A and B are shown apart, each in its own frame.
Chain A
Amino acid sequence: MKSAVVVFPGINRERDMMLALESVTGAKPVSVWHAETELPRVDLVVVPGGFSYGDYLRCGAIAARAPIMQDIKARAAKGLKVLGVCNGFQILTEAGLLPGVLARNKNLRFVCRQVKLKVENNGTFFTNRMEKGAVVSCPVAHGEGNYICDAETLKMLEAENRVVFRYAEGTNPNGALNDIAGIMNGSGTVIGMMPHPENMIEPLHGRTDCRPLFESLLAA
């Protein structure tokens, strides 16, 4: 499984993501600088978390228009798997690869804590090693994670089983609609999520709850 991790100025979770990918899949991911115009041949592209461009204008707005995003969008349209985590999720919505917006947290606070994450759809490339309905612990760290979209889009996401992860047990940290923590595109090849599974895979992280998510990549 060959993977690439995209690096924008201001991103700070790319190393954690690369270590997680390598630790579980055994293959070292390549890092791709935002100013490049062509992706290497890979099976998966990950847009990691952080604060690309200092969150100027809107979170993810500038990164979504970076040169490398043109190729990511073109390849995603042909079925390349794309995973966006935290700022990466914001970037994917700004790029139009996923619907909706991650707005300012409802309570205005930056949240940095563990939440309970429920796997709603275990048929995806990132959840196929999980039980449907399984609840795992996962850290979040964001100021803009309040998922919102229009009523029609929300209805479509729910009807098409495109909500991949939901905050469970009253741990919604940001006010997201329907407790949405992660969604996918229509074909299931693009997934975005606010929590940081890459930080819950080693015993030193405290728990290894999210390791099966990365193991799912091997089966996909």
Chain B
Amino acid sequence: MKAKIRVTLKTGVLDPQGKAIAGALGHLGFGGVGEVRQGKYFEIELAETDRARAAEQVKAMCEKLIANTVIENYEIELA
């Protein structure tokens, strides 16, 4: 089983990298670009075959390491 995890900054947390990307898009001539928020994407291969147990395991991974829950949210997709 594979876990796909998206980590994003919580609403309200300043994202200077997103701002820089928005600026660069402007320099390239892309009009109409609003706020840009940058996140992270992870794919983790798991030996676990039980969906519920895998979900629990990946949630623990996110809480303990993958995301810093002070400033980041995470979404898990199992495939």
Contacts and interface: CB of A to CB of B under 8 A. Distances in A.
The answer to whether A and B come from one shared complex is yes
Interface of A: 57-58, 61, 65, 94, 99-101, 103-108, 146, 148-150, 175
B66 to A, nearest CB: 8
18 contacts: A57-B65, A57-B66, A58-B68, A65-B65, A94-B68, A100-B70, A101-B68, A101-B70, A103-B14, A104-B16, A104-B17, A107-B16, A108-B17, A108-B19, A108-B20, A148-B14, A149-B70, A150-B70
Contacts of A58: 68
Q: Which 9 A-B pairs have the closest CB atoms?
A: A108-B16, A101-B70, A101-B71, A104-B16, A108-B20, A58-B68, A106-B16, A101-B68, A65-B65
Nearest to A106: B16
A interface secondary structure, majority: loop
| From B13, B14, B64, B70, residue with most partner A Cβ within 10 Å | B70
Contacts of A108: 16-17, 19-20
Interface in B1-55: 13-14, 16-17, 19-20
Interface of B: 13-14, 16-17, 19-20, 64-66, 68, 70-71
A105 B70 CA distance: 17
B59 to A, nearest CB: 17
A61 B14 contact: no
A100 B65 CA distance: 15
A103 B13 contact: yes
B65 A106 contact: no
B65 A61 contact: yes
A103 B16 CA distance: 10
A204 B65 CA distance: 41
B16 A61 contact: no
Contacts of A146: 14
Contacts of A105: 16
A106 B70 contact: no
A57 B70 CA distance: 15
A105 B19 CA distance: 12
A94 B19 CA distance: 25
A94 B71 CA distance: 12
Given A101-B71, A103-B14, A148-B14, 14 more contacts: A57-B65, A61-B68, A65-B64, A65-B65, A94-B68, A99-B70, A101-B70, A103-B71, A105-B16, A106-B14, A106-B16, A107-B16, A108-B17, A108-B19
